[in-house]
Structure 1
């Protein structure tokens, strides 16, 4: 519980910095770039070469795909039956279907379950959430909006994203049995220790909540799916039907319970899929998820 309190403190610090005039408006963008171009690649190089690859790891990877697939099925069906605008349906599918498994997920998983949990979280994020947000989510956005994305553009975005490039490199190092020297490993350790404070301060700087908008039933429908329903599905599926290893099971449920992904909301906004709702799902979802994640952590024991 102490670690969870530390996570909340860093988030609050980020929120507080929004009201400090001396902090530039672009600070969150620079912190995000540091995470994307430095921390996430080094996380991959540090942990993935150490993972003992086995088929059972496909289970935690599958949670991102299950979550997005069920989101598409649920909100796609509701949208048709209740005559929602296509933009509303698309917004809920994408924003509620994608979890913030890296910027928020990594520091929380590390705080709750330690360094070993980060290895599983990396696989969930890179082989699950990232591929989804870079490909399938863009396809869904194109279906529910007037803008069309070329397959070539989607492929280029995946192949040129730094964390994904280093994810592939790290897997190649794993297969080859390569190990970094003690000196390089020490540098990696220093960089990865910045993950929690930098990621959560960056998230805190970006949290914006409009008090008048929280009465939207679509907001609570999306958050209800993301924070309650889909974690419950994974809890039952992995805990009682497939009976995964206890440690993998806990990390999988907690990663599924993360708030909506910031990048997912950006995709919705850029395709004009209810921009205000997409922003609010993230802005309210992140602080609210700290409460629901605490509840899930208690349930998991």
Structure 2
């Protein structure tokens, strides 16, 4: 559980740095750019070529797609019905629709279910969450951004988005059975290890917790969806309708119950989709998820 402790520590470090006058106000923006243009592409090249794609694992992978799709339907509908700002709707779709299936998800499922669970968690993350955040989340961000964009501009933004480019390249490497070894693999490992501290510090720098923020109905709608509603949907769907194999079922439910994905919040922030709300969904969602994950672990038995 050391990794969980590290998650909390770096989040608190980011929050503490807000009160250090020597830290420039633009620090979080630069950290976000580093994550998008360096870390995410490297993660694609590091993990995707190693994935052993099997049809039997399509169901757990689909949990990430169901989560994001339902988020788009639900918050898109509520946004139109109650005339929300487009930026609020887009922020909720992206941030609440994506689970933190990797650097929070991996250590949790390993602690709860053992090393074998990491194989399932990796597929859910890479073939589910990572694909979505690298492509569809960009479409949503472009649609709901206040800046009007043509379809041609949206397509260009996806095709020129570094994580998406390297995601496609990584799949080519997977199909070609090519993996990086030696010094390149060591370099990729070093860069990948910076994801957790840099991402959490960046989020911590942008978290502004005050009574107005805590009272925000959008915050609790997003967290209610992410921590309670969508895990319940996956529990019922895969537990009773599809009757997923017990071990895979448990890991899938727990991965779905993770807090909002930091990368998703970065996408929302970079498109000016309610940056404070996006940061708070992650900053408050991660510590709260430790309690709700305990609840879902008890439910799946």
Number of the residue aligned with 1:203:
203
Q: Following the alignment from structure 1 to structure 2, what is the Cα–Cα distance between the partners of residues 75 and 86?
A: 10
- Write the distance in 1 (CA, Å) between the matches of 2:59 and 2:95: 16
Distance 1:64 1:257 in 2: 11
Say yes or no: does 1:262 pair with 2:259: no
Distance 1:279 1:57, change over 3 A: farther
For residues 4 and 14 of structure 1, what CA distance do their matches in structure 2 show?
16
Map Cα deviations across residues 66-114 of structure 1 (whole Å, 9 max, x no partner).
233323433455456xx52252xx4554333224798954321232245
Q: Measure how far apart 1:41 and its partner are.
A: 1.2
The 8 Å contact of residues 11 and 283 in structure 2, kept in 1 or not, is answered as: no
Query: Which among 103, 118, 125 is matched to residue 121 of structure 1?
Result: 125
What corresponds to 1:37 in structure 2?
Answer: 37
- Is 1:150 equivalent to 2:122 in the alignment? no
CA distance in 1, matches of 2:219, 2:123: 32
Asked if the contact 1:68/1:97 (under 8 Å) is kept, the reply is: yes
Q: Does 1:279 align with 2:276?
A: yes
Residues 101, 112 of structure 1: alpha-carbon distance in 2 compared, 3 angstrom cutoff: farther
- Structure-2-length-normalised TM-score: 0.80
- The answer to whether structure 1 residue 85 and structure 2 residue 95 are counterparts is no
Partner in structure 2 of residue 98 of structure 1: 94
CA contact (8 A) 1:210 1:280 kept: no
Distance (whole Å) between structure 2 residues aligned to residue 195 and residue 103 of structure 1: 16
Distance in 2, Cα, partners of 1:162 & 1:37: 6
* SS of match in other structure, 1:295: helix
For residues 197 and 99 of structure 2, the distance between their equivalents in structure 1, rounded to whole angstroms, comes to 10
Mapping of residues 12-27 of structure 1, within 5 Å: 12-27=12-27
Using the size of structure 1 for normalisation, the TM-score is 0.80
* Residues 9/70 of structure 1: CA separation in 2 closer, same or farther (3 Å cut): same
Partner of 1:180: helix, strand, or coil?
coil
CA contact (8 A) 2:90 2:268 kept: yes
User: Superposition RMSD on alpha carbons, in Å?
Assistant: 3.1
Counterpart of 1:108 (choices 93, 104, 107) is 104
Match of 1:130 among 131, 134, 144: 134
Shift of 1:17: 1.0
- Are 1:39 and 1:195, in contact at CA under 8 Å, matched by a contact in 2? yes
CA distance in 1, matches of 2:251, 2:95: 16
- Confirm or deny: 8 A CA contact 2:99 2:256 kept in the other structure: no
Q: What is the DSSP-based 3-state SS (H/G/I as helix, E as strand, rest coil) of the residue aligned with 2:38?
A: helix
Separation in 2, partners of 1:126, 1:59: 16
Per-residue CA deviations over 1:130-159 (Å, capped at 9, x if unaligned) read 3221114533x27xx7x6421111111111
> Separation in 1 of the partners of 2:126 and 2:234?
18
Q: Report the alpha carbon displacement of residue 236 of structure 1 after superposing the two structures with TM.
A: 2.4
